[in-house]
Chains A and B, each alone.
Chain A
Amino acid sequence: AQSVAQPEDQVNVAEGNPLTVKCTYSVSGNPYLFWYVQYPNRGLQFLLKYITGDNLVKGSYGFEAEFNKSQTSFHLKKPSALVSDSALYFCAVRGRLNYGGATNKLIFGTGTLLAVQP
């Protein structure tokens, strides 16, 4: 079954410290992976994606993520957290059809609430 796991419901970090939000996936074939951020009562904002190429992907607002095929992970990172980074973060993978083609559907993880303390 295709799925995305975000093992931490919440991550707490002090402002200025590095942050990591974890994501692992299960999908056949090469994955298309995404990170989105959601602020309260708002829709999702795209942060970054991995399709192919360099395993380290750089995105918006100083975030980056590293694709690790052997560990089936796509952890989100930022070298120095800001209080304004506090939000709900979703990892997603594009679904695959039985024959291996990609669908348009996104499969989301359950989300991780990032709390950055001043």
Chain B
Amino acid sequence: GAVVSQHPSWVICKSGTSVKIECRSLDFQATTMFWYRQFPKQSLMLMATSNEGSKATYEQGVEKDKFLINHASLTLSTLTVTSAHPEDSSFYICSARDPETSYEQYFGPGTRLTVT
């Protein structure tokens, strides 16, 4: 099946700094990628939909200036958490939609962000 990778798998940063998380589709081209946030023992919350070559679509309540998304190529989307605060600590998961199998999303392994 299709493989999606994320880097880094975990990161610790200081409050006020910015962190970039990469999401790559390894064996297919993804015109659409999704970014989710998951709190402990909770479900996934969709943050934004990332479309290659255009601006991301953010869900209600998600600050676009804080969570910058760039989808510059068909295999790479990045999420930058700007001016991170401890409340941004979470598990961030990306997924990519393979247009060849249009109904499925393939998920990355996730990135654990801890802001101290």
- Report A's interface with B, CB cutoff 8 A: 32, 34, 36, 41-46, 49, 51, 90, 94, 104-106, 108-111
- Give which listed residue, B43, B106, B112, contacts A110 with CB less than 8 A: B43
Task: List B residues 30-63 near A (Cβ within 8 Å).
Answer: 32, 34, 41-44, 46, 49
Contact in complex: B104, A42 (CB < 8 Å) = no
Contacts of A90 in B (CB 8 A): 43-44
How many pairs, one residue from A and one from B, have CB atoms within 8 Å of each other in the complex?
52
Contacts of A41 in B (CB 8 A): 91, 110, 112
**Tally of contact residues, B, Cβ under 8 A:** 24
- Give which listed residue, B42, B49, B106, contacts A105 with CB less than 8 A: B49
Main SS at interface, chain A: strand
- Report B's interface with A, CB cutoff 8 A: 1, 4, 6, 32, 34, 41-44, 46, 49, 91, 93, 95, 97, 103-110, 112
- The docked-state distance in angstroms from the alpha carbon of A44 to that of B93 is 9
Q: List 23 A-B contacts (CB under 8 A).
A: A32-B103, A34-B104, A41-B112, A42-B109, A42-B110, A43-B109, A45-B107, A46-B106, A49-B103, A49-B104, A51-B103, A104-B32, A104-B49, A105-B34, A105-B46, A105-B49, A106-B34, A106-B46, A106-B95, A108-B43, A110-B43, A111-B41, A111-B42
Contacts of A36 in B (CB 8 A): 107
Min C-beta distance of A66 to chain B, whole Å: 18
Contact in complex: A106, B103 (CB < 8 Å) = no
